[in-house]
Structure 1
């Protein structure tokens, strides 16, 4: 079997993004990047092991093979690899790219893959491990700008328009949740809702959507949101409600507050200082179990904390002794 070397001019031009079609004319002859499927599988595995996801995406989009079914199965993972490379916009466009021989990736997405992609596009985090559906661990993808929420919503609705299986399984759950979340952002921003604890708890089963809502708030609105949320958590009028929290509710609140505290965006610095101050003044883990979980989460990732967060952690640890 004649296999192209990795330094083959046509293959190199494809991997570098200089040749998107996998074709060239050399000495008057048309040359096509056509390889046996076993070779394609081997190249895919090697590029994955080297974390060269952008090159892998370019290769799969250009290569051809006699085993069209198996090749198509590998090509269906291109949006995933583009997300791994931080190219979220490219991934969304790739869902709908089609050829004369096959329909688009969106047509073949399973409901589980649809949910995985929507969470990735919203949070910038991806499932770790070899199987993105079975994985329970999520990790940050390569640094890149996330797409606008309106673009993600359009992408989700467009996928459901192409894929009846996803539509029947997910609508109105995921798409409607995205629309409702965007509506909540608008309502919080322009109408100043007066209580947020119930809003936060409503997203318990879809924490990724809560983070999307959070990331959609401007600096002033975010300050109002966190201020009112803390008031809700500490207010006497909510004491009865707080005592009815289940253990998972306490963990969920602690996790969300930790998400805010670890938010690296400069626009959050003023709000975080306010949150640190309120939390420190009202730190009573015996009364508020979510405080315990917040402290435990911060301790587990203490090596990643910013200096101000370290000082806050040291201060609340002293309150327990």
Structure 2
């Protein structure tokens, strides 16, 4: 016995520690130490409980508290295992504090207190039968999940109510399916003597009446229910999905032979299809939803208890999802196990999970911004869906960038996770290439979860050095032929190298105007670049000469190396290029670098002609876009651009400047800055330079237009 004090020690409550040892069950006795019975005033005896050293000197009749009928101290109770025919003994008698064990309300309010075949008055807590009855009364259909009453909340009850309604509707639809539809084949073979032609024998025709069983109605009903379940709260969704899985797993195909009616009408095709959807969703929920551990285990145990038909055996272990606190998983996430395998009782155990589980884990870790854990997990986990896993692993470099480790991200693009896979660089798009270079250049990343999200950018770490950046950028181009032959990628490379490492929050770069380095420096970089580029193509770990990539001219050296790489690309892959103008525009105000490229192209006549033709075609097709661009860039840029081409020693290259000048002349109403361009020509002395007959004529014509105004 244990004493509890109550109401300033005016009384003592004695509660039994072990209900089984008490003859009164859960009865409560109140003992008042201040009120002595008349008998005890004459003779007081001490009652001592030696086991717990409690001394009771005074007592009185207990106040009757609310209690189950079998604990009533006023009316005796007879116990039987499952007697429901009629009340036993005086079990129907009640006091005003007796409660029904099944309904959990006052016995006087119980509608089935003495109802034959129910007789709640006979219920007690020592019978498995009555305990099951109580659980079902309080938990409803949720009792099938073996849930404790303390586990059941409003969400679970709501899911149970929807599940019960669905089961009733499903029963009606399933019975329709079992009844089938009688179909008369258009042609049947006659087996009578004499034998009639096919389809003309009435006897064989009546025998050939076939019953077709179409599961489409059931499939549609289950699909609507699953759609509804996905809109509910996680606990309700889980209950509804598990209940639906149990119901459809018990469905049988009454057809004696295979009936190929389609994926929704054939039960043996439709049920696996539905189970695939159910198990995939449940796998994700077990990872993403923070179910209590006991509820998590009961959901898994319930699914494992479902007796699956032979055509659904593949789903037997679908919900054996590794919990987050599993030893193998936690050691991988913490970086203590990089291989994803361990030896258990002499047997190797691998971190293997189905793709939906992997996707869900990645989603949850990304939501928590645990990017390093995402990388460790994706590098270690294994899956039978190699293509799906490869798609997830292709995001490892981005997650490394999000964690601020740009150097490891650059290496991860070029090196596969294992020797059997190809590198991520083989599959990145031109837009992804641009985003990666922007991240490497600035040390900033998109604030969103995906690298393709437009929005704010945030700084997370130091950017790559120029020497490392140019090497990694060129290696990416050499590893992916579609990138290598895409002018957008080359223009991106030039644009990134010609920008500062400061990035606006909107993600816009700040272009730099680099001063033209000395000619001997340019020649030194060009001389060393041929060997460097060949080594980069061969994927050799190249060390850039410190004399070239000095702290003072590293930006210029990178740009010259990129120019040499573009030149080599044009010599080999010019026929594959679809544009060249955007590459020329990417140089921005660094016209010295663009001139360096054009001068080297003039040594190969066919390369020069092909490049010029590409630029002229681009200018012709993009006149409106170019006029708008020039409006934004201003007359200083346009003048530099025109002078660059008009002063080229090769007349073919001058045609680009002349064509550009004609576009401006024909659209003066769209070029309010054209007069300033005329002043630029005057200041540059363009009219007096030896440009050639055609160039002199067009420049003079343009200048005269504004002089005569």
> Normalized against structure 2, the TM-score is what?
0.26
Residues 31 and 186 (structure 1), Cα distance of their counterparts in 2 relative to 1, 3 Å cut: farther
Choose 166-175 or 90-99, whichever is displaced more. Answer: 166-175
The 8 Å contact of residues 83 and 141 in structure 1, kept in 2 or not, is answered as no
Cα offsets for 1:239-293 (capped at 9, x unmatched): xxxxxx988569xxxxxxxxxxxxxxxxxxxxxxxxxxxxxxxxxxxxxxxxxxx
2:343 is aligned, of 25, 50, 71, to 25
- Structure 2 residue 482 is matched with structure 1 residue 165: yes
Distance 1:185 1:17 in 2: 47
- Picking from 323, 338, 342, the partner of 1:5 is 323
For 1:9 and 1:116, locate their aligned partners in 2 and report how far apart those are by CA, in whole Å. 37
Instruction: Return the match for 2:369 from 26, 30, 51.
Output: 51
Query: Residues 141 and 28 of structure 1: is their aligned pair in 2 closer, same or farther, counting only changes over 3 Å?
Result: farther
Q: Unpaired segments of 5 or more residues in structure 1? A: 194-204, 211-244, 251-321
Tell me which residue corresponds to 1:84: 402
Matched, 1:100 2:419: yes
1:117 corresponds to which residue?
Answer: 436
What SS does the corresponding residue of 2:439 show, helix, strand or coil?
Answer: helix
> Aligned partners of 1:26 and 1:73: how far apart in 2?
31
Quote the offset at 1:9 in angstroms.
1.3
1:106 positional shift: 0.7
Aligned to 1:148: 465
CA distance in 2, matches of 1:110, 1:124: 21
Contact 2:342 2:349 in 1 (8 A): yes
Matches within 5 A, 1:204-223: none
Q: Is the 8 A contact 2:446 2:455 kept in 1?
A: yes
Q: Does the 8 Å contact 1:79/1:90 carry over to 2?
A: yes
What's 1:67 paired with? 385
1:175 partner SS = helix
Call closer, same or farther: CA 1:21–1:147 in 2, change over 3 Å.
Answer: same
From 340, 354, 378, the counterpart of 1:36:
354
State whether residues 61 and 75 of structure 1, in contact with CA within 8 Å, keep that contact through their aligned partners in structure 2: yes
Q: 1:57/1:186 Cα in 2 relative to 1: closer, same or farther (>3 Å)?
A: farther
Q: Whole-Å Cα distance in 1 between the matches of residues 398 and 630 of structure 2?
A: 36
Give the drift of 1:185.
Answer: 7.4
Matched pairs, number: 202
Cα distance in 1, alignment partners of residues 631 and 414 from structure 2: 43
Residues 1:175 and 2:504 are matched in the alignment? no
Matched, 1:127 2:443: no
Structure 1 residues 35-44 or 10-19, which shifts more?
Answer: 10-19
Who is 2:295 aligned against?
A: none
Separation in 2 of the partners of 1:42 and 1:185?
51
Instruction: Report the CA distance between 1:180 and its aligned residue.
Output: 6.0
Q: Report how far residue 137 of structure 1 moved.
A: 1.5
Which residue does the alignment assign to 1:304?
none
Q: Mark the CA change 1:56 to 1:185 in structure 2 (over 3 Å): closer, same or farther.
A: farther
Query: How many Å separate the matches in 1 of 2:378 and 2:473?
Result: 24
Contact 2:492 2:586 in 1 (8 A): no
Structure 2 distance, partners of 1:136, 1:37, is: 28
Q: Which residue does the alignment assign to 2:103?
A: none
Give 3-state SS (helix, strand or coil) of 2:445's partner.
strand
Larger proportion of helix: 1
Distance in structure 2 (CA, Å) of the matches to 1:57 and 1:185: 42
Give 3-state SS (helix, strand or coil) of 1:95's partner: helix
Larger Rg: 2
- How much does 1:178 deviate? 5.0
